[in-house]
Structure 1
Amino acid sequence: MDPQRKLKMEITFFRNLLKFLRATKAFLEALSGSGAACVSRATAIKFLFARKFDVARAHALWRQHEATRRREGLNKFEPFEEPLKSELETGKFTILPTRDATGAAIAVFTANKHFPSQTTHQTTLQGVVYQLDVALQSIETQRAGLVFIYDMSDSKYTNFDYELSQKILTMLKGTTRERSRLRPASCVIAISFNSTGGYPAKLKKVLIVTAPLWFKAPFRILRLFVREKLRERVHTVSAPQLAVHVPRASLPRQLGGQLDPDHASWLEHCKNCYTNNLQNAKLDCDIDEYVISNHIPPVKQNGIIESTCDMTSDRAARLDHSTDMHISGDPPYTCDPSPLRNSHGYNGDMKGRHINSGDEDDLDISTRGTWSSGEASPGQSDEECGGGGAGLTPEALLARVQQLGRRGLFAEYEEIRARPPNGTFHHAKLTSNLAKNRYTDVLCYDHSRVLLSQIDPDDPTSDYINANYVDGYKQKNAFICTQGPLPKTFCDFWRMVWEQGSLVIVMTTRSVERGRVKCGQYWPLEIGARAVHGGYAVTTEAVDTEDDYTISHLVLTDLRTEQWRRVWHGQYTRWPDYGVPGGGRAMPVLRFLRHVRRAQQAAVAELGDSWAGHSKGPPIVVHCSAGIGRTGTFLTLDICTARLAAEGLVDVRGTVERIRAQRAHSIQMPDQYVFCHLALIEYAVLQGHIESADLTGFDDEQEDESD
């Protein structure tokens, strides 16, 4: 790493560390000054994490949390006696022993296991809080937050309890600021999600799985009444679409995943933590260190299970009043719900990670560990994706290009390309998967790969396709970058398109170039023609031909269910392999890009109530031959033009680095890197960001190299 950059990172770390310590001290002093009972530093950290270390907001959250506990009768209950014991054993609510790609814990409420006539709201809430309190002892969960999966598979209207669902979501996010007068039973999650917060856990996403029709329609209407930032976190998805949000390896089998969670073992872990906390609370009483209330252990005023199963480090930190916080290689408490693990690229520690979620302003405190994908963590929020980092104004971009010239940009690209891959390729290298790769040296990362449904229970590799998710501008997993399909992978390709809900396919290669096959003909060319690949049929309805690209309007049908959807297919035909569009002209590519975006918007609008995910729609599938050169160039232009239009800033280098962290080797040649800069300058002129761009002499130093 560059020494200057390393020094800057170290300065930022210590500056944020000081801010972290000051915030913790200020939070404790604020509680003490308000006359509240004393709480530990571990408790302070939980509430500060949940409010981005804003002391005033964290203090308000603590007060709201206390009020919620008292109001809902959550200040005293017995998990080993009836009726709570039986409630816990139903498994209707559980914390999975895995995490999502961002490190967030995963909570699942299974609707078809809930029978409102057989239990009270208070008992069910107690079961939820008992488990959440244990999960939240993990500092990773405090940092990364919680994904809440509301599984409505095979549920009936009689399983749905509006008031209970409202209480759960209100508890997680507090009392609502805006309540709609509409109160259909299916709208509770959207209502409660727009709230101030009461529980010290960051709710990152609500995923409503297999929602029935009686739920979808009113839910769609109510989404219009909540703020956009919150609305983007609530998704109604099918079980196969869950993989867009949570790795399939982190999901239970009933949700199409690979996990067999042991709820009994999880409850045993909760019991051990509960028992240890009782003992630790008694010890606190004996030494009269804190005032004890009637909340669940460790019976501090805030009511959060906060001590460690192995009390050593936390106890030392709490007894040493001269130390603001225990900062070392180990967290200050260790009652983590093992085996909570991240099965999607995280190697076990937390180096290069941020303490907060990035939904607002960052508190950039790095701790131990590293993402296998390098500095560009897959844990970005929608708000962070493709923006938020360093950026140049169009004038500054033009000046930089003029200063560096073609040779300087070539050198900058070579510096990027010289870095080793930021991840592993274990699945792509499996013997049974090797034949599915078009090129032996173009493989897909493990941490961002697209997982297909496992159609063969005896073949775990039937979930493989050479494809990776890549983030767009303020949209996670906006794209799927993949290779040009092989005849043997046509069925896998269309299965991926169907399962991911994709509506638009972008192809930046011709099928045959320079006498070599670059991509199989995976869709019918003739209007009215139909091709069958595995369990899917593809029919061409219409074809529009332009000078530089061809647009095919396809219908994709799942032959098992006879369900169908329209797919827009755009093929750019004047973009040579290892190069840039003919003559280096940016205008046709920018025009094509505009067609792609309009097609995506129109397709999402056509879905109507059946789509309740991100407003920009499901992932756009982009491929060339290898899925890295022209594909990476197209993505760079899309992300950078979107940011330039929204913020007036552009960051080509940073964008390329982030794309390469999710799809290895993206942007294959230096000319493609240069083309991105020139195309963005042309776009800036067209959009009126700058009046003109004088690049006289830019090509004078062009090297005589064959691309």
Structure 2
Amino acid sequence: MATKIPKIDWKMENAVIRKLLVILRATKAFLDALSEAGASCVSRATAIKFLLARKFDVARAHALWRQHEATRRREGLTKFEPFEDPLKSELATGKFTILPTRDATGAAIAVFTANKHFPTQTTHQTTLQGVVYQLDVALQSLETQRAGLVFIYDMTDSKYTNFDYELSQKILTMLKGGYPAKLKKVLIVTAPLWFKAPFRILRLFVREKLRERVHTVSAPQLGAHVPRASLPTQLGGQLAPDHAAWLEHCRNCYTNNLQNNKLDGVIDEYVISNYIPPVKTQNGVIEHEVARDMTSDRVARLEQPDAMHISDPPYTCDTGPLRHTHGYNGDMKGGHIHSGDEDEVDLITRGTWSSGEASPGLSDEECAGGGAGESAGALLARLRSLGRRGLVAEYEEIRARPPQGTFHHAKLPSNLSKNRYTDVLCYDHSRVLLSQIDPEDPTTDYINANYVDGYKQKNAFICTQGPLPKTYSDFWRMVWEQGCLAVVMTTRAVERGRVKCGQYWPAAAGARAVHPPFALLTEAVDVEDDYIISHLVLTDLRSEMSRRVWHGQYVRWPDYGVPGGGRAQPVLRFLQLVRRAQRTALADLGDAWAGHSRGPPIVVHCSAGIGRTGTFITLDVCTSRLSAEGVADVRGTVERVRAQRAHSIQMPDQYVFCHLALLEYAVMHGYLESADLNGFDDDNEDESE
């Protein structure tokens, strides 16, 4: 039987070769700079690692190298004896380890378990050596160099005697600017009350950009940052990592590296590792990939023509620094191949992401709200040109696309009754995970709710359905565990004679309700023409701890439609009221909140959690971006919201309303003198359903 020869995509091949040439030029420039500075015995693999950490900016990579070397010398990290005490015993404690999994973006996961650290029994030098020894192994994977590192500081069951302020400062200082790793996130889990003061001080040592990546979270909230399948059981995950096997792998790589250095005459502490497999992500679901495609091998051969081809992960020491280029998203959607060197390097180090594609890996800065955006004037001109019919056609094109994810959890038999509507399910990749209250029933973590990004804020919102009587407790458990301060309700409990949402909170001032294990008290109620504001106190009966929650219900927004008469001003005022309430509640928290500057997720729901809910979020993202940048992108925002909460913006009239409301906002805030859309409705047919 004849072997089928695969077809070669020469355009793709040539693009990869161009990128490789860029890398080779930058590597040579970096090594030349080090040679001039007197550091000539540095491997090409190490050079590439520092260049990747600084996006192939040779000057910045060289500065990182100098800072890194200074840190190593200052902290005594230049010579390791991992097979002798005290470092041998330090490694065996397992207080620091690298997990054999990755997060949804491909980042490696490092865990420091605070209750295993006793400052009186070890020195800073020994502990730092244990950390760096393992990081050096993990960081040699190109996938880790490209995708970065998530650092989890687990404070569960730790005491004040376990905490070492100076050591924590040294680790953060090293990772933020003295180590060639992209620090994606620092997740401080189950921080005790006494930690607030030192943490406030620690944050002062972290530059503002990195400060946005530092989060204090509960164990259930950890699932919003790292998939449960990638977390150890001690953190509520499904993984049982073998630290002894990991240390044995580190030992093998370290030994091999020493032998290779003797043969090659290269003085280089670093070792190459395939222990943590590269990953492909499809809508946030991790799929470990170990196969190498032809393009990847070709790049590896070009860079290391004599390198041995090793292909049996996870316990191998790979000697080819470019061997894992298959880990990036190389499908080049939309023809995103550029001729400039910087763009080529950027593509090979981060992959592409097109509008409307589910992207669990976006950073806060990348959540900008759609694509390039257009000014208010350009938006007005476009709407005049399209007319209502053209805008509806644009929406229909978006609505015709199939869902961009799976609904496996929502379809489980034990979860079906938790969904208000059988055809409105929540995506697996962005769903909110509750704490698992029944060890025998893993589905107790389910609620029909999804995270949705806001303007420059990942997971700014939680989109959910109107609670059912049987899910009242789940709803308030979600609010409590996610630290939510505000709930937005854009439906009435009953509309057109049909129940759209349960009465999940006490409606009257002074009224109480209990939804075990939570109790609610309504302190006050403010009734306006368009909305009702309830000031709630939510209490966890298990711990007797309480938190105030602002509840805003917009009452003049019909199901399947837009506010009466298409009036945008009342909705825009309500939106500003929600943001003001969030800011006030956040200010009241003070130092207790260490996450994003705009606070924890805002819960938004209507009946199904897609139509009015999606419209509200689209308006918030677009108005926020218009205020900050002077541009907005309604279509791109809708596409991204739908990528995280399926079927959001349910009707064409809601899509049209988003555009018209944004124009009204632009006039209200001086971005336009007027918004004359004379003739916009001339071709209007009744599109509402």
TM-score by length of 1: 0.84
2:507–2:522 contact (8 Å) kept in structure 1: yes
The yes-or-no answer on 1:473 pairing with 2:439 is no
1:336 Cα shift? 6.9
CA RMSD for the aligned pairs? 3.4
Distance 2:535 2:275 in 1: 59
Distance 2:652 2:571 in 1: 18
Amino acid at match of 1:679: A
2:610–2:649 contact (8 Å) kept in structure 1: yes
Secondary structure of the 2:644 match is coil
1:368 Cα shift? 11
1:338 Cα shift? 6.7
Aligned to 1:406: 388
Distance 1:67 1:613 in 2: 31
Q: 1:371 to 1:279 in 2, by over 3 A?
A: farther
Amino acid at match of 1:379: G
Aligned to 2:588: 606
Aligned to 1:34: 37
| More displaced stretch, 456-465 vs 46-55 | 46-55
Q: 1:666 to 1:326 in 2, by over 3 A?
A: farther
Distance 2:380 2:23 in 1: 39
Aligned to 1:63: 66
The yes-or-no answer on 1:89 pairing with 2:130 is no
Q: 1:322 to 1:489 in 2, by over 3 A?
A: closer
Amino acid at match of 1:121: H
Aligned to 2:125: 122
Q: 2:272 aligns with which of 300, 303, 306?
A: 306
Aligned to 1:50: 53
1:366 Cα shift? 5.2
Aligned to 1:626: 608
Spell out, residue by residue over 1:371-424, the C-alpha distance to the aligned partner (whole angstroms, 9 max, x if none): 999734211111111248411011111111111111111111111112111111
1:134–1:305 contact (8 Å) kept in structure 2: yes
1:554–1:569 contact (8 Å) kept in structure 2: yes
Q: 1:579 to 1:41 in 2, by over 3 A?
A: farther
1:536–1:557 contact (8 Å) kept in structure 2: yes
Spell out, residue by residue over 1:499-540, the C-alpha distance to the aligned partner (whole angstroms, 9 max, x if none): 000010011111111221111111111211111112111111
Q: 1:119 to 1:461 in 2, by over 3 A?
A: same
Aligned to 2:284: none
Q: 2:430 aligns with which of 442, 448, 464?
A: 448
Aligned to 1:255: 235
Amino acid at match of 1:204: K
Q: 1:558 to 1:171 in 2, by over 3 A?
A: same
Amino acid at match of 2:82: P
1:166 Cα shift? 2.6
Secondary structure of the 1:108 match is strand
1:280–1:307 contact (8 Å) kept in structure 2: no
Aligned to 2:139: 136
Distance 1:10 1:673 in 2: 41
Distance 1:602 1:409 in 2: 37
Q: 1:473 to 1:9 in 2, by over 3 A?
A: farther
2:369–2:636 contact (8 Å) kept in structure 1: no
Q: 1:11 to 1:619 in 2, by over 3 A?
A: farther
1:104 Cα shift? 1.8
Aligned to 2:189: 209
Q: 1:18 to 1:469 in 2, by over 3 A?
A: farther
2:146–2:350 contact (8 Å) kept in structure 1: no
1:572 Cα shift? 0.9
Amino acid at match of 1:351: N
Amino acid at match of 2:514: V
The yes-or-no answer on 1:539 pairing with 2:521 is yes
Distance 1:122 1:382 in 2: 34
Distance 1:412 1:377 in 2: 23
Structure 1, unaligned runs of 5 or more: 1-5, 174-196, 286-290, 294-299, 340-347, 355-360
Aligned to 2:27: 24
Could you tell me the percent identity over the aligned residues? 80
The yes-or-no answer on 1:567 pairing with 2:544 is no
Distance 2:213 2:354 in 1: 26
Amino acid at match of 2:464: T
1:579 Cα shift? 1.1
Distance 1:693 1:17 in 2: 51
The yes-or-no answer on 1:670 pairing with 2:652 is yes
User: 5 Å matches for 1:619-698?
Assistant: 619-698=601-680
| More displaced stretch, 517-526 vs 243-252 | 243-252
Q: 1:352 to 1:272 in 2, by over 3 A?
A: same
1:126 Cα shift? 1.5
Amino acid at match of 1:305: V
Distance 1:610 1:703 in 2: 53
Q: 1:630 to 1:274 in 2, by over 3 A?
A: same
1:13–1:365 contact (8 Å) kept in structure 2: no
Amino acid at match of 2:229: A
2:19–2:348 contact (8 Å) kept in structure 1: no
Q: 1:390 to 1:231 in 2, by over 3 A?
A: same
1:272–1:309 contact (8 Å) kept in structure 2: no
User: 5 Å matches for 1:165-564?
Assistant: 165-173=168-176, 197-220=177-200, 223=203, 227-283=207-263, 285=264, 291-293=265-267, 300=268, 303-306=269-272, 325=303, 349-351=327-329, 364-365=346-347, 375-387=357-369, 389-564=371-546
Q: 1:492 to 1:321 in 2, by over 3 A?
A: closer
Amino acid at match of 1:115: F
1:308–1:333 contact (8 Å) kept in structure 2: no
Spell out, residue by residue over 1:572-613, the C-alpha distance to the aligned partner (whole angstroms, 9 max, x if none): 111111111111111011000000000000111111222121
Amino acid at match of 1:107: A
Spell out, residue by residue over 1:598-650, the C-alpha distance to the aligned partner (whole angstroms, 9 max, x if none): 00001111112221211111100011111111111111000010010011110
Aligned to 2:150: 147
1:138–1:336 contact (8 Å) kept in structure 2: no
1:72 Cα shift? 2.3
Distance 1:703 1:404 in 2: 14
1:46–1:200 contact (8 Å) kept in structure 2: yes
1:578–1:669 contact (8 Å) kept in structure 2: yes
Distance 1:566 1:7 in 2: 60
Q: 1:613 to 1:123 in 2, by over 3 A?
A: same
Amino acid at match of 1:400: R
2:651–2:688 contact (8 Å) kept in structure 1: no
1:21 Cα shift? 4.7
Distance 1:545 1:694 in 2: 34
1:281 Cα shift? 3.2
1:307 Cα shift? 6.5
Amino acid at match of 1:125: L
Spell out, residue by residue over 1:126-172, the C-alpha distance to the aligned partner (whole angstroms, 9 max, x if none): 11111111111222211121121222222222222233223322222
Amino acid at match of 2:545: Q
The yes-or-no answer on 1:107 pairing with 2:114 is no
Distance 1:450 1:11 in 2: 42
Equivalenced residue count is 645
1:73 Cα shift? 2.4
Spell out, residue by residue over 1:294-353, the C-alpha distance to the aligned partner (whole angstroms, 9 max, x if none): xxxxxx2xx22237799xx99xx9xx99987479xx9998797679xxxxxxxx953269
Q: 1:678 to 1:60 in 2, by over 3 A?
A: same
Secondary structure of the 2:458 match is strand
1:373–1:661 contact (8 Å) kept in structure 2: no
Distance 1:331 1:431 in 2: 50
Q: 1:159 aligns with which of 162, 173, 176?
A: 162
1:49 Cα shift? 1.7
Distance 2:47 2:389 in 1: 53
Amino acid at match of 1:511: A
Distance 2:554 2:13 in 1: 45
Amino acid at match of 2:512: R
TM-score by length of 2: 0.86
